Amino acid sequence: MDLASRAVGPLDTNLYVLADSRTREAIAIDTAIPCLDWISGLLLERGWRLKLIVSTHGHWDHTGDNAAVQAWSREQAAALAEHEAEDGSAGAPIAVHPLDREMLVNPQPLFAPFEIPPSVPAVELAEGGRVEFGQIELEVLHTPGHTPGSVCLLEKESGLLLSGDTLFAGGWGRTDLPGGSEAEMVESLGRLSSLDDRLRVLPGHGPATTIGDERAWLEEVKRAGRLPF
């Protein structure tokens, strides 16, 4: 699996592009504003075809360029095969957990410094579901707490966890925003504490880490049943 990443926008959101080097199929995770120029250039340079746009949750700093990236992918699909684009549905669909769907359709700015265009998800990221591109498969883990529909994506073969805003290096996503829940975050972090120490964690903000590096405080959260203060 090939991986490219970049910190994007005023909150330095980590945008990830994953690709199967054999089939050249790719997915984009958390397409924040402004990422269209970078992501389109990357895909064209490497000859990757975008199959899916994934939002780990519905906050504006992870979804702002969903619509722009999708529109570009449709233009690319039309250029490759006009018949695929006749009904306007070709290109990369957008995926999010159904509990966060409304946040994409009717985005709330939450202090965003610019307008957030709406986007329309067509794929549901449900617990236990699979995100597949080429021969690569990511398992969907529903990990609410930051938002009701927050998810993590687990790629077992490479030992990779894309944790969105659920788990950071040394911390976790805020629970005091609309839809956040400290109790659900505690449960989600406790669940992640059961994963393999060797898993490399790629969060929605900040540096990468591993489950092993975070284990001590994760297990304390699980034992105490509350977030540390």
The CATH number that applies at residue 98 is 3.60.15.10
Residues 6+ apart with CB under 8 A from 1: 18, 19, 20, 21, 136, 155, 157, 158, 160
Within a domain: 32: yes
Within a domain: 229: no
Q: Which residue has the tokens 């398992």?
A: 139
pTM, whole model, 2 decimals? 0.94
- Going residue by residue through the chain, which has 229 residues, state the pLDDT in tens, using 9 for 90 and above: 999 999 999 999 999 999 999 999 999 999 999 999 999 999 999 999 999 999 999 999 999 999 999 999 999 998 887 655 444 457 999 999 999 999 999 998 788 999 999 999 999 999 999 999 999 999 999 999 999 999 999 999 999 999 999 999 999 999 999 999 999 999 999 999 999 999 999 999 999 999 999 999 999 999 999 998 7
Within a domain: 144: yes
Residues 6+ apart with CB under 8 A from 122: 93, 94, 95
Total of domains in the chain:
1
Within a domain: 114: yes
| Structural domain harbouring 6 | 2-224
